[in-house]
């Protein structure tokens, strides 16, 4: 259906209403909630979520949280595994901060009521790909994210200083004199300018840019696009992680089959029932995620199939049901009994390693703007994230960003400057964009990204993708008053950044694989960086 866009001309509506808080946290997943809790004793905190609080990647996390807490593990081994998975592009100081501080934040979370699975009284740790130790804590078998979220929400509720707006869609940041002083937010039919002494972006990832993804609907890359429009530096956008195993069955959702299943002994077989991973890598099914994903693609091409199989049928049935209760019951809804049937699986977009560049304290290149969690690029994940490191990153860097943002409390002038200026990012008199079919463009974009900017890229696929996206530039430059159209604008902006970064990196590193440049390429140890109105550049 083609319909006229709900074009947002700042002069044609009543001026936005105004609200001021000390700290504005955009996002209510692990990173946003942890930041909010850190800030709660310092001033008033408003947490925004664009849907319900439980619609976040955090809530869907299955496998667990990696942390060096078991007797057989050490912080330095977690460090080494993370660096190795990151394929040469991790920022070592960020990894060190995460693995060293991680155990403390997990024990704190447990003290707040988070329950992780135990064997007797001892915490139970599982294995995932590219880890050399069993170090993944999990909850209710395969519902770790829900438990983390439950504990954080419960803790946040104990602070009267924290309030929440659900279904509050952030349109743009308010920037004044190169400082971030708040955000423009769509709440119902109203636009509100929310002013704050510090703004923390914790909006999660961008999986919805791909037609196959494990991610929930909220992951449209809003935070990255919003920060880019505001002038923040965006880095490492070519690195998209594709999870090897999501359900591939007619009528079924692209439901994740946790890597922990392979950690517990599940194997991958091609459509002829032959196990193939040992031929691709010595660690077989437990090789790093990018290796397993590409091996699956090769096997699918070789056998002319749309999927491979994940096979757990050799494992003890009761163990499988108890260890993976959510996955067991979900697959059963689609007539697949994972204890008896091999499960058809195919890779899907899962995580974005790049994002808004931050330092170790969550500070971005814009004063007053902080970022944490999947929207941020701390450098912890390098070119390929080690499984189950992102919940940990969200906790550690959410808290770190919160600590640093608290220092903005004494910033002066926000309230005084409020009324006379509105969002400098919303163009004051742009000509309305032509009518366009937002839903059709969204769907075409998701397929384009999957086919041309997906697991395997090359110049021949990337250039047409660039041209297609550039033709929709008018949408990226417009402003809208509806969530769907604003999301499309953000998705196009993030797609543009991913595609340009993928073209810039003429080499294959980590999750970025160029079939026309299979070796690492020149300057492979550097990072791609983007800033509005500037040419893309390589940074160290």
Residue with the closest Cβ to ligand SIN? 63
Q: With binding defined as CB under 6 A, does residue 145 bind ligand FAD?
A: yes
| Least distance to ligand SIN, CB of residue 214, Å | 8
Nearer to ligand FAD, 49 or 508 (CB): 49
Residue-by-residue DSSP string for 182-245: EEEEEETTEEEEEE-SEEEE-----GGGSSSBSS-TT-S-HHHHHHHHHT--EE-TT-EEEEEE
Which does residue 227 bind out of ligand FAD, ligand SIN, none, counting CB within 5 to 8 angstroms by kind?
none
Dihedral sign of CA atoms 76, 77, 82, 83 in order = positive
CB atoms within 10 A of CB 367: 15
Contact 290, 276 (CB under 8 A): no
* Sole window of 153-161, 203-211, 445-453, 493-501 interacting with ligand FAD (rule: CB under 6 A): 203-211
Which residues have a Cβ under 8 Å from the Cβ of 190 and sit 6 or more positions away? 16, 17
Structure tokens at 203: 């909006």
- Binding residues with ligand FAD: total (CB under 6 A): 44
Of positions 8, 35, 45, 56, contacts ligand FAD by CB under 6 A: 56
Which residues between 321 and 380 bind ligand FAD (CB under 6 A)?
A: 351, 373-375
Q: 506, exposed or middle or buried, with CB in 10 Å at 0-12, 13-18, 19+?
A: middle
231 binds, among ligand SIN, ligand FAD, none (CB under 5 to 8 A by kind): none
Q: Which of 96, 164, 229, 289 is catalytic?
A: 289
Instruction: Give min distance, CB of 277 to ligand FAD, in A.
Output: 21
Helical axes 92-111 vs 75-85, angle rounded to 10°: 130
Q: Check binding of 144 to ligand FAD (CB under 6 A).
A: yes
Please return the burial class of 220, using the count of CB atoms within 10 Å of its CB with bins 0-12, 13-18 and 19+: buried
What whole-number distance in Å separates Cα of residue 122 and Cα of residue 119? 5
Site for ligand FAD in 391-430 (CB under 6 A): 391, 394
Neighbours of 292 (CB within 10 A): 27
Question: Within positions 163 to 202, which residues make up the interface with ligand FAD, using CB under 6 A?
Answer: 168-170, 202
Distance separating alpha carbons of residues 493 and 476, to the nearest angstrom:
6
Whether 486 contacts 476, CB under 8 Å = no
Paired residues of 369 in beta bridges: 199
Closest CA relative to residue 62, chosen from 126, 118, 111:
126
Q: Establish if 114 lies at the interface with ligand FAD (CB under 6 A).
A: no
C-alpha 236/C-alpha 383 separation (Å) is 8
Q: Which stretch binds ligand FAD (CB under 6 A): 289-297, 355-363, 390-398, 410-418?
A: 390-398
Name the minimum Å distance from CB 286 to ligand FAD. Answer: 16
Residue among 62 and 139 whose Cβ is closer to ligand SIN = 62
Residues in region 441-480 near ligand FAD by CB under 6 A:
none
Binding site partner of 170, from ligand FAD, ligand SIN, none, Cβ cut-off 5-8 A by kind: ligand FAD
Nearest approach in angstroms of CB 452 to ligand FAD is: 23
355 binds, among ligand SIN, ligand FAD, none (CB under 5 to 8 A by kind): none
- Residues 117/94, Cβ–Cβ less than 8 Å: no
For residue 215, state whether it binds ligand FAD (rule: CB under 6 A).
yes
| CA 387 and chain centroid, separation | 13
Supply 398's token pair: 């959410």
Q: Which does 373 bind (CB under 5 to 8 A by kind): ligand FAD, ligand SIN, none?
A: ligand FAD
When the beta carbons of 258 and 486 are compared against ligand SIN, the nearer one is 258
The window from 59-67, 227-235, 354-362, 434-442 that contacts ligand FAD (CB under 6 A) reads: 59-67
Q: Does 214 bind ligand FAD (CB under 6 A)?
A: yes
Binding mask 218-247 for ligand FAD (x = CB under 6 A): x---x-------------------------
Least distance between ligand SIN and beta carbon 395 (Å): 13
Contacting ligand FAD (CB under 6 A), which of 5, 58, 293, 481?
A: 58
Beta strands in 365-523 (DSSP E): 369-371, 376-377
Q: In what order do the strands lie in the sheet with 376-377?
A: 376-377, 355-357, 234-235, 527-530, 537-539
Q: Select from ligand SIN, ligand FAD, none the partner in contact with residue 31, using the beta carbon and a kind-dependent cut-off of 5 to 8 Å.
A: ligand FAD
Closest CA to 160 of 30, 46, 34: 46
Name the residue nearer to ligand SIN (CB basis): 8 or 242. 242
Applying CB under 6 A, the residues found at the interface with ligand SIN are 62-63, 258-260, 350, 387-388, 390
Q: Is 446 known to be catalytic?
A: no
What is the x/- site pattern for ligand FAD, positions 16-45, by CB under 6 A? ----------xxxxxxx-------------
Q: What residue is closest to ligand FAD based on CB?
A: 29
* Structural contact between residues 88 and 525, judged by C-beta atoms closer than 8 angstroms: yes
The residue among 65 and 225 lying less far from ligand SIN, judged by its C-beta, is 65
The answer to whether the CB of 355 falls within 8 A of the CB of 371 is yes
Residue 280 three-state SS? helix
Residue with Cβ nearer ligand FAD (170 or 358): 170
Which residues of the chain form contacts with ligand FAD (CB under 6 A)? Answer: 26-32, 48-51, 55-58, 60-65, 144-145, 168-170, 202-205, 214-215, 218, 222, 256, 351, 373-375, 388-391, 394
* Catalytic residue annotation: 289
């Amino acid at each position: 259906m083609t319909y006229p866009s709900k074009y947002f001309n700042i002069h044609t509506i009543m001026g936005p209403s105004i609200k001021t808080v000390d700290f504005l946290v955009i996002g209510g997943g692990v990173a946003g909630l942890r930041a909010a809790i850190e800030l709660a004793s310092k001033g008033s905190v408003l947490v925004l979520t664009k849907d319900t609080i439980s619609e976040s990647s955090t809530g869907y996390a299955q496998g667990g949280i990696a942390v060096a807490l078991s007797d057989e593990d050490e912080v330095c081994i977690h460090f080494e595994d993370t660096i190795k998975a990151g394929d040469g592009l991790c920022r070592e100081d960020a990894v060190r901060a995460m693995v060293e501080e991680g155990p403390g934040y997990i024990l704190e979370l447990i003290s707040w009521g988070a329950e992780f699975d135990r064997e007797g009284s001892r915490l139970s740790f599982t294995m995932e790909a590219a880890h050399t130790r069993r170090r993944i804590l999990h909850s209710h078998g395969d519902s770790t994210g829900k438990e983390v979220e439950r504990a954080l929400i419960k803790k946040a509720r104990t602070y009267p200083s924290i309030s929440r707006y659900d279904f509050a869609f952030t349109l743009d940041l308010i920037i004044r004199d190169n400082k971030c002083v708040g955000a423009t937010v769509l709440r119902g039919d109203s636009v509100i300018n929310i002013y704050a002494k510090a703004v923390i972006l914790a909006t999660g990832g961008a999986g919805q840019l791909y037609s196959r993804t494990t991610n929930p609907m909220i992951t449209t890359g809003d935070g990255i696009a919003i920060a880019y429009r505001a002038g923040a530096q965006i880095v490492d956008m070519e690195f998209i992680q594709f999870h090897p195993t999501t359900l591939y069955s007619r009528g079924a959702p692209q439901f994740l089959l946790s890597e922990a299943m392979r950690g517990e002994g599940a194997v991958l077989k091609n459509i002829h029932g032959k196990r193939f991973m040992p031929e691709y890598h010595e660690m077989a099914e437990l090789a790093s995620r990018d290796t397993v994903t590409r091996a699956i693609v090769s096997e699918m091409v070789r056998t002319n199939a749309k999927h491979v199989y994940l096979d757990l049928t050799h494992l003890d049935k009761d163990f499988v049901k108890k260890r993976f209760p959510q996955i067991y019951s979900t697959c059963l809804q689609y007539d697949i009994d994972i204890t008896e049937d091999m499960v058809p699986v195919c890779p899907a977009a899962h995580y974005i390693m790049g994002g808004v560049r931050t330092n170790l304290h969550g500070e971005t290149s814009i004063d007053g703007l902080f970022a944490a969690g999947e929207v941020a690029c701390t450098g912890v994940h390098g070119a390929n994230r080690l499984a189950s490191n992102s919940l940990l990153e969200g906790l550690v860097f959410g808290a770190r960003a919160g600590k640093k943002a608290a220092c903005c409390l004494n910033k002066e002038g926000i309230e005084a400057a409020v009324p006379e200026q509105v969002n400098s990012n919303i163009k004051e008199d742009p000509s309305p964009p032509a009518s366009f079919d937002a839903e059709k463009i969204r769907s075409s974009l998701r397929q384009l990204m999957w086919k041309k900017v997906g697991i395997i890229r090359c110049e021949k696929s990337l250039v047409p993708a660039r041209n297609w996206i550039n033709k929709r530039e008018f949408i990226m430059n417009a402003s809208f008053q509806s969530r769907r159209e604003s999301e499309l604008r953000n998705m196009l902006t993030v797609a543009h950044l991913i595609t340009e970064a993928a073209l810039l990196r003429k080499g294959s590193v980590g999750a970025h694989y160029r079939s026309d440049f299979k070796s690492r390429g020149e300057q492979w140890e550097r990072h791609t960086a983007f800033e509005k109105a500037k040419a893309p550049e390589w940074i160290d």
